[in-house]
Amino acid sequence: MPPVVTADTTMDQPSASGAALIHGLLANLPNVPGVYRMIDARGNVLYVGKAKSLKKRVATYAKAHALPIRLQRMVALTTAMEFVTTASEVEALLLEANLIKRYRPTFNIVLRDDKSFPYLYLRWGHDFPMIGKHRGSKRDGSDYFGPFASAGAVNDTLNALLRAFPLRSCSDSIFASRSRPCLQHQIKRCSAPCVGRIEKADYARIVEDVRGFLGGSTRDVQGKLKAEMEEAAGRLDFEKAAVLRDRLKAIAHISSRQGINTSAVEDADVIAAHADGGQVCVQAFFYRGGRNYGNRAYYPAHARDADMPEVMAAFLAQFYSERPPPRLVLVGTEPAEAGLLEEALRLKAGRRVHVRMPKRGPLRELVELARRNAEAALARRLADQASQARLLEQLAERFDLDAVPERVEVYDNSHIQGSHAVGSFVVAGPEGFDRKAYRTFTIKDPATGTNDDYAMMREVLERRFARLAREDPERQSGQWPDLVVIDGGAGQLSAAQGVLDQLGIEGVALLGVAKGPDRDAGRERFFRTGLDPVMLDARDPVLYLLQRWRDEAHRFVIQAHRGKRSRAIGQSTLDAIPGIGGKRKKALLQHFGSARDVESAALGDLEQVPGISSAVARVIYDHFHEGG
């Protein structure tokens, strides 16, 4: 829907206060449902809100003195607003959730982990349907069962399921090319329909059993199999009876592996939250067919000043914005505007969705289980953060930093004789590694010489900090590091300091980490600009912290380098190793089974491969473990 009115013209009037700006917009705002965005001077979205009446809702921001301190600050930062009208408040709620997930505004409660859940699926369109795992958008021609809370949960269930119901899990192309049974058949996890080891009708019966079991009809499937087993035993067909007996045992094993099952609900999500230490943990449990498909913890951002009904409402709206809700959602806290939220979920799902907060009985026990898990998970997180905070305080003491760093960027680069050169940094802070903030840089400057680590480091830092200085000169975004850690000694540190001096950047501490003699961990030397290098005690926890940072930076840049190299080659990663031709590559793959196993092989194992000498084994090992 098109915007009703925008305040883009106010971008040229930065001196106008946010409250005055908002007051000037009220005359043109309609008294209809819609969504509004509050925007700062750099064009960043500060807040996304929905309203039954845009005019009445926005008018509350014009009286800044009556707002909480947090919202007063938001209004003061606002230099523009944008508006979208909707047909109803329900549509406004759905649009608000989508925009929050898109922009991740500073003043909204934001669900940070929004990756999709894995499912099991049965794919039709073939005489012998296949079973497998799937993540992403659903496709026609398949039945999906889930969601499962994690890849581990779906893998465990699939492996156990194939022992009970030996369906094929291979692709159609592999199925068509088989001339003999594969390993899955040998370990009794496939009935080998590809080579005619099972009739189509018998396979179809197994497929129907799988559908019934995953659909929640476990007792019906077990009763049917038990009757068939007894019938086979009565005919003295003990071989078939043994197969059915083993299948019944496997079904019982799967059910026990599902964890805490329940007869209180068939399909439901159970969601409860716990707040402590200015943070909130939300636990979501998934029950399908009465079985527990796992749980996952979430930590919504910017929830410190919000009450629990507001947190629950924001979580549910964003959680189900990209995934279908079940018919029943059990919550530990009544969400704000629960009726409106139910209607929004109904509109999205195309059917009735109930959001209930049970007061007693088995359903309340499920909610209480989720709440206890949320409480325990948050306690562990706060303990980890406290430990990490203490380590950062000790780091500041060891290296005489002006303040305890909140954001640390650790830089490294990788190349092979100057080719496919990549630089990168990882980000760490009080909450550990922030993997979403990791970045890679392809070395582009033709003036950067081959094998010139200093030049590569300079290019990466120049690009990183020039962009920061250009896009966020006031350092308000939280993207500026307090401490930059360089993988290298005095030379790399000098190059990094030169970049910051050239750009006129101050207030960013630099720390160089030089490897010890023979690259011994524990004997590193640490360099600060203008100070003598120091070594830390081998048992100092700060040393372990720095080693973890350095190792993570090295792992990340090597991963980026290998990916770039492999894409350039277009083939196996083995093809990039000097001296490895077709015969040696074939010998390695036959011995280890895959290029990935070659990468992780020990030097002694590589030396055992026929045709691979000790010298060649060393080249291979160094290629994957040194990385330039």
466-479, pLDDT tens digit by residue?
A: 999 988 888 877 89
Mean pLDDT of 437-442: 89
Say which range, 31-40, 95-104, 450-459, has the weakest mean pLDDT. Answer: 450-459
Taking phi over 0 as left and psi of -120 to 50 as alpha, with beta for the rest, 277 belongs to: left
- Long-range own/partner contacts, residues 246-255 (CB < 8 A, 24 or more apart): 246/163, 247/164, 247/165, 248/222, 250/160, 250/163, 250/164, 251/164, 251/213, 251/218, 251/221, 251/222, 251/225, 253/160, 253/163, 253/164, 254/157, 254/160, 254/161, 254/164, 254/213, 255/218, 255/291
d(CA 437, CA 458): 20
- CB-count exposure of residue 31 (10 Å: 0-12, 13-18, 19+): exposed
How many CA atoms lie within 13 Å of 114's alpha carbon, on the beta-carbon side? Answer: 20
pLDDT digits (tens, 9 = 90+) for 167-206: 998 888 888 888 888 888 888 889 899 998 899 998 998 8
Q: What angle do CA 300, 303, 307 make, to 5 degrees?
A: 125
d(CA 599, CA 574): 9
Band of the pLDDT at 577, cuts 50, 70, 90? confident
pLDDT at 330 over 50: yes
User: Strand 408-416 relative to strand 483-487: parallel, antiparallel, unpaired?
Assistant: parallel
Which residues 6+ apart lie within 8 Å of 519 measured at CB? none
Which residues 6+ apart lie within 8 Å of 151 measured at CB? 118, 133, 135
d(CA 14, CA 454): 42
Taking phi over 0 as left and psi of -120 to 50 as alpha, with beta for the rest, 451 belongs to: left
Mean pLDDT of 280-304: 87
Give the domains, in start order, of the chain with CATH numbers: 3-103 (3.40.1440.10), 118-257 (no CATH), 268-379 (3.30.420.340), 408-563 (3.30.420.340), 571-625 (1.10.150.20)
Q: What is the radius of gyration, based on Cα positions, of the chain?
A: 30
DSSP 301: B
Closest of 281, 545, 304 to residue 433, by C-alpha: 545
Which residues 6+ apart lie within 8 Å of 172 measured at CB? 126, 130
Provide the token pair at 296: 């996952």
Tokens 């009703």, residue located: 4
Band of the pLDDT at 526, cuts 50, 70, 90? very high
C-alpha to C-alpha distances, 149 to 93, 157, 218, 292, nearest whole angstrom: 26, 12, 21, 9
Closest of 547, 527, 544, 526 to residue 535, by C-alpha: 526
User: Are the CB atoms for 472 and 465 separated by under 8 Å?
Assistant: no
d(CA 198, CA 170): 16
For the whole model, what pTM was predicted? 0.66
Say which range, 75-89, 199-213, 438-452, has the weakest mean pLDDT. Answer: 438-452
pLDDT at 257 over 60: no
Closest of 512, 507, 505 to residue 453, by C-alpha: 512
d(CA 218, CA 210): 9
Mean pLDDT of 84-104: 92
pLDDT at 543 over 80: yes
Q: Report the pLDDT value the prediction gives residue 5, as an integer from 0 to 100.
A: 40
How many CA atoms lie within 13 Å of 365's alpha carbon, on the beta-carbon side? Answer: 8
pLDDT at 112 over 90: no
Mean pLDDT of 531-545: 89
Q: Report the pLDDT value the prediction gives residue 2, as an integer from 0 to 100.
A: 39
Q: Report the pLDDT value the prediction gives residue 448, as an integer from 0 to 100.
A: 58
Q: Report the pLDDT value the prediction gives residue 256, as an integer from 0 to 100.
A: 57
Average pLDDT, the chain: 84
pLDDT at 299 over 70: yes
Q: Report the pLDDT value the prediction gives residue 570, as an integer from 0 to 100.
A: 46
Q: What values do phi and psi take at 523, rounded to 5?
A: -120, 25
Say which range, 367-381, 412-426, 537-551, 589-603, has the weakest mean pLDDT. Answer: 412-426
Q: Report the pLDDT value the prediction gives residue 7, as an integer from 0 to 100.
A: 39
